[in-house]
Amino acid sequence: MSTLRLAIVGAGPAGIYAADILLKHERSFDVSIDLFERLPAPYGLVRYGVAPDHPRIKGIVNALREVLDTGQIRLFGNVNYGSDITLEDLKKHYHAVIFSTGAITDQVLTLPGMDLRGSYGAAEFVSWYDGHPDVVRTWPLEAKHVGVIGNGNVALDVARMLAKHPEDLEPTEIPDNVLDGLLASSATDVHVFGRRGPLQVKFTPLELRELGEMRDVDVVICGEDFVFDESSQRAIESSKQLFVINKIFDQWRAREPGSASRRLHLHFYAKPLEILGEDVVESLRYERTEPDGAGGAVGTGEIREIPLQAIYRAVGYRGTELPGIPFDSRRGVIPNHEGQVICDDNTVMPGVYATGWIKRGPVGLIGHTKSDAMETIQHVVKDQASWWNPAQPEEESVSALLHSRGVRYTNLEGWQRLDAKERQLGEARGRERLKLVPREEMLEVSLDGSH
């Protein structure tokens, strides 16, 4: 029986699910799977893109751990595609490759004043509070009045982390440097801006409800945003999710004005126009919009301005281009047909596949990721005739290559050591885990004297 040597680049949920699905798929050949990850730890955005006060979402990690712990997949951590290993290397050692590198950079938002000091992309801030090893260890949090542009789950995560009292984050796996930074924060008011109405939001009822459960934080909404047109009323009646969201808003509107020490303001029908300031953010100018009758919004010509000293752009993520791989710069994805990568001349690129957010864009939850991976794997299995013909398919040849280049790669045992160390550090502090942040510390624990 022949053996498929498959490389998967990206060890987040998309890559791990793809490996698991292939191992369980009905096929006429054996498989040998190597999973490459540029960080010393796997799990991608589950580890580095979910707010630390969302432990129930991080329960996904348990399912991913089970897949890796079967021992049927080799993990190569701290290996960067494009420098440590290239497309030509992969063709030499594998029959095919799946890219599952996700979407980790901010979607572009073009606004005058966007480059002022105090204007930030949400992606780097999320990476900071999640202890990503490649971002700065400190974050400027001197602003009293902070703005967040966006109406998705990331926008609410950012707003919640800025508004929440840091003491309430102490039981989580939040890194010490992040907790110290938030404890020194000057924020008293966080403003969230969305250009459409409260029924066109992209966040979930769960995310919304959490805002109202924060200790000593008042959620402030404005009655003028809740005069619904007929299309909005129909949406409430036809969508259970929107019905629940509207019910949460109704409950908040019925509350007496609070006296909390912090406030989170939700501004709907607010289209950002310009970030104002000399050298640093001083305010946000926006246009008041109104429903267009079809679920969208149109400008009214009324201009408003709110004083702010910092602003975060949370309008979505996008993928980044990979060396030697076609890229759709407009959508921020690898162009593909059901996971088969498509070249500029509209032909299929043999042996190269994509799955997850780098395939379809940053939409959908874990369930979508699984079905997405299934679609890609079905093509991998069917495309046996067009696989690459590797000159050195032996498993040990990849380790030898990385050794020859001086790559300090980690493996599954190394990740298990790091995982155990973080749990040990957390247990000593009454937490489930305490993340190690500096890459060198992660490598020291993972490698433990090996290579």
For residue 287, pLDDT over 90 is answered with yes
Q: What is the mean pLDDT of the chain?
A: 94
Phi, psi (degrees; rounded to nearest 5) at 375: -60, -45
What is residue 449's predicted lDDT score, i.e. its pLDDT?
A: 58
Count CA atoms within 13 Å of residue 54 on its CB side.
Answer: 24
Residue 230: the pLDDT is 82
| 367: pLDDT strictly greater than 90 | no
End-to-end CA distance of the chain: 34
Question: How would residue 229 be classed by pLDDT, with cut points 50, 70 and 90?
Answer: confident
What's residue 321's pLDDT?
96
Residue 260 near residue 216, CB atoms below 8 Å: yes
| CA 446 to each of CA 78, 105, 150: distance values in angstroms, whole numbers, following the listed order | 10, 27, 38
The residue ranking higher by pLDDT, 255 or 399, is 399
Mean local confidence (pLDDT), 394-418: 97
Rounded distance, CA 370 to CA 352, Å? 19
Higher pLDDT, 352 or 295: 352
Confidence band of 235 (pLDDT split at 50, 70, 90): confident
* pLDDT exceeds cutoff 90 at 204: no
Q: What is the pLDDT of residues 70-84, one digit of tens each?
A: 999 999 999 999 999
pLDDT band at 432 (very low <50, low <70, confident <90, very high): confident
For residue 59, the model assigns a pLDDT of 74
In the three-class reduction of DSSP (H, G, I as helix; E, B as strand; rest coil), residue 167 is classed as helix
d(C-alpha 416, C-alpha 135), whole Å: 23
Per residue in 108-119, pLDDT (tens digit) is: 889 999 999 999
pTM passes above 0.75: yes
pLDDT for 3: 92
**Residue 231: band (very low, low, confident or very high) from pLDDT cuts 50, 70, 90:** confident
Q: For the chain, what percent of residues have pLDDT higher than 90?
A: 82
Check pLDDT > 80 for residue 55.
no
Q: Which residues pair with 96 in a beta bridge?
A: 6
User: What does the pLDDT read at residue 293?
Assistant: 82
Mean pLDDT over 178-205 rounds to 94
Q: What structural domains does the chain harbor?
A: 3-104+319-409 (3.40.50.720), 105-317 (3.50.50.60)
- Do residues 261 and 280 make contact, with C-beta atoms less than 8 angstroms apart? no
Q: Averaged over 89-94, what is the pLDDT?
A: 98
pLDDT of residue 389: 96
pLDDT at 57 over 80: no
The per-residue pLDDT for 80 is: 98
pLDDT at 58: 67
Average pLDDT over residues 225-242: 88
Q: Could you give the percent of the chain with pLDDT greater than 70?
A: 98
Contacts 24+ apart (CB under 8 A), 436-441: 436/131, 437/131, 437/132, 437/133, 437/137, 437/175, 437/177, 438/133, 438/137, 439/39, 439/40, 439/78, 439/133, 439/134
Q: Which of 1-5, 23-27, 264-268 has the lowest mean pLDDT?
A: 1-5
- Judge contact between 94 and 4, C-beta under 8 A: no
Beta-ladder partners of 191 = 147, 265
pLDDT > 90? residue 257:
no
Predicted confidence (pLDDT) at residue 435 exceeds the cutoff of 70: yes
Write out pLDDT tens, residues 295-332. Answer: 789 999 999 999 999 999 999 999 999 999 999 999 99
Per-residue pLDDT band for 1 (boundaries 50, 70, 90) equals low
Return the higher-pLDDT residue of 387 and 28. 387
Q: Check whether 28 has a pLDDT greater than 90.
A: no
